[in-house]
Structure 1
Amino acid sequence: MTRSLRTVLPFKAYQNKAGVLVKNYVLADPFIPYTSVLGGMLACKLVYDLTQIISTFYFRSYNGLTKVQRIEWNNRGTSTLHAVFISIISLYFVFWSELFSDQNSAGIITLRSSPLSTFALGMSVGYFISDLGMICWLYPSLGGVEYIVHHSLSAIAVAYSMLTGEGQLYTFMVLISEVTTPEINMRWFLDVAGLKRSTAYLINGVVIFFAWLVARILLFVYMSYHVYIHHNQVMQMHTFGSLLVFCVPTALAVMNLVWFGKILKGLKKTLAKRKS
């Protein structure tokens, strides 16, 4: 037996054992909710630290910020990555996956789930818990009461869907709205970098307007229609789950409309300044 072969065999054996461990415990159905939430929280910590390290060396404006601003900068880096991750996953499950398709005859649509969908929701719960903790710890530096309400409602609804497997389709529909988060964060980055009067800032404002209109207004209208035509299936969920399907999107929709009004007002103000 050659030296290279003697080296490869133990590695293969270790790899197989690691694979069995992950399959039987980390990704086993009973453990997915807990491992995914923990993984989401650890991922938030890792991204926060990486954002801090990268920004220190590659963004000159970062070192000129106050301590609270640097914390918010790092926090927004974390929320951006979560938004990209969960938006892609949510778009896949809502529009492309067969799991929640009406043509799929595998049970009623409000009770369908899979290991992958549960794992993705758990990662999101881990993020909401981590971010809510930071918002409360540094209150009101990272956001006011509306952010606490938004994150609390989101964490409760997503955690319930993750743990019970109920209403996951509607949870993913709501989570698609996270597609607006990177644009909102970019607007803050441009502001603290002193680029509030730049063309990039104006373009960002326009993108936010249309993204918000589609993902946080029109999508919620579509979700309401979907709930309406699947009302009988929604009512087969537990009472608490049904209440979440009706109440949480409604509360978030009201908040989205309020914020949309502020976005529209801000965009008009920016365009007026550009003309003058």
Structure 2
Amino acid sequence: MMTVSKRTVMAIKSYQNQAELLVRDYLLADPFVPYTSILGGILACKMVYDLSQLISSFYFRSYAALTKIQRIEWNNRGISTLHAIFISTMSLYFVIFSDLFSEHRLAGLVIFRSSPLSTFVMGVSIGYFLADLGMIFWLYPSLGGIEYVMHHLISLLAVAYSMSSGEGQYYTFMVLISEATTPGINLRWYLDTAGMKRSNAYLINGIAIFFSWLVVRVLLFVYIFYDIYLHSYQVNLMQPFARLLAYAVPSVLAVMNLLWFGKIVKGLKKTLAKRQ
């Protein structure tokens, strides 16, 4: 019995070592990182969609009463929520806590820095944008109108170029921090769909959206423009197309953010007026 047990343990360790070698030497090897991360992002979206469908069916009574398109949107927002948590957390890590873009700890121009991990994270995000765009086009305009298509296409273009070229990842991650507002927006939709529009949770969520949007989609973009100005000598060393993205993408997204912020303010005012 001991011999069989030892053989089993040795076999498991052997398979584990082979799997680790496969991941390290192929799936996470520099030439393959963009492809495996994008594929991983798409597969993760599919997995989260299925889990959302399964969990919601068991634990949320209101889910069964939804229409088919509402159930699809419910699960789709589950995907976008997890992606937002993942990408905003990783973006904060790279911009604030990591040494990758530190001007004091590493030599060289910040604008040209990248790493296998930063490339992998961007690939996962690209996989999400591709999957979400596919669903938006498939059910257009049920999951979002032209503004969502524009947002996703602009984000996809910027992230894909930054990942493939290694240029401007610093500012790409700065912009991606703004995804931190997405969970609150999705929660607002969930509460509305579940018939909780008059609840305290809905009001608190609306106030939280207002302040988070102000910080990461308005004030943050002001700082991004200021930082681009400070590092304009580095930005001007980038390829022409990369320079265009560095100046145009934050500008277009900032305008969209301000328009959406106006709607958020109007919605919050309306909600507060009903409470008086």
**Following TM superposition, where does structure 1 have runs of at least 4 consecutive aligned residues deviating by more than 6 angstroms?**
none
Aligned to 2:183: 182
Deviations along 1:214-237, one digit per CA (max 9) or x if unpaired, are 010001011111111111111111
Deviations 1:72-122 (Å, cap 9, x if unpaired)? 000000000000011110000011111001113332101000111000000
Q: Work out the CA distance in 1 between the residues paired with 2:106 and 2:204.
A: 45
In structure 1, the residue matched to 2:204 is 203
Structure 1 counterpart of 2:157 = 156
Give the distance between the partners of 1:33 and 1:78, measured in 2 at CA.
21
Q: Unpaired segments of 5 or more residues in structure 2?
A: none
Counterpart position of 2:10: 9
Residue 100 of structure 2 contacts residue 106 of structure 2 at CA under 8 Å; is this kept in 1?
no
Partner residue of 1:23?
24
Any idea what the Cα deviations from partners look like across 1:37-80, whole Å, max 9, x if unmatched?
A: 00000000000010001001110000000000000000000000
Taking only the aligned residue pairs, the percentage that are identical comes to 68
Letter in 1 for 2:58: F
TM-score if structure 1 supplies the norm length? Answer: 0.98
**Secondary structure of 1:103's aligned partner:** coil
Q: After superposition, where does 1:79-228 map in structure 2 within 5 Å?
A: 79-228=80-229
Could you tell me how far apart the structure 1 residues matched to 2:191 and 2:44 are? 25
* Aligned 8 A contact 2:126 2:156 in 1: yes
**Partner Cα separation in structure 1 for residue 226 and residue 243 of structure 2:** 15
Whole-Å Cα distance in 2 between the matches of residues 198 and 12 of structure 1? 53
1:71 alignment partner AA:
I
* Counterpart AA for 2:234: Q
- 1:4 Cα deviation after fit: 2.0
- The CA deviation at 1:6 is 1.3
Q: Distance in 2 between matches of 1:56 and 1:18?
A: 35
Asked whether 1:262 is paired with 2:273, we answer no
Distance 2:99 2:149 in 1: 34
Q: Supply the distance in 2 between the matched residues of 1:224 and 1:217 (Cα, whole angstroms).
A: 11
- Deviations for 1:183-229, whole angstroms, at most 9, x for unmatched residues? 00000000010000111000000000000000100010111111111
CA contact (8 A) 2:38 2:126 kept: yes
For 1:244, the aligned partner's letter is L
Distance 1:201 1:6 in 2: 58
Distance 1:120 1:108 in 2: 21
- Counterpart of 2:181 in structure 1: which amino acid? T
Contact preservation (8 Å) 2:203, 2:271: yes
Q: 259-268 vs 2-11, which deviates more?
A: 2-11
- Indicate the SS of the match to 2:61: coil
TM-score by length of 2: 0.98
User: Does 4-13 or 176-185 show the bigger shift?
Assistant: 4-13
Report the Cα distance in structure 1 between the residues aligned to 2:235 and 2:24, rounded to whole angstroms. 32
Q: CA deviation at 1:129?
A: 0.5
Q: Cα deviation per residue 1:142-200 (whole Å; 9 max; x = unaligned)? A: 00000000000000100111111111010101100000000000000000100001110
Alignment coverage as a number of residue pairs? 275
Query: Per-residue deviation at 1:7?
Result: 1.2
Partner of residue 63, structure 2: 62
Q: Quote the residue 2:244 is aligned against.
A: 243
CA–CA distance in structure 2, aligned partners of residues 120 and 143 of structure 1: 25
CA distance in 1, matches of 2:67, 2:4: 56
User: In the alignment, residue 36 of structure 1 is paired with which amino acid?
Assistant: S
User: 2:99 touches 2:106 (CA, 8 Å); kept in 1?
Assistant: no
Mean alpha-carbon deviation: is it higher for 24-33 or for 1-10?
A: 1-10
Structure 1, unpaired ranges of 5+: none
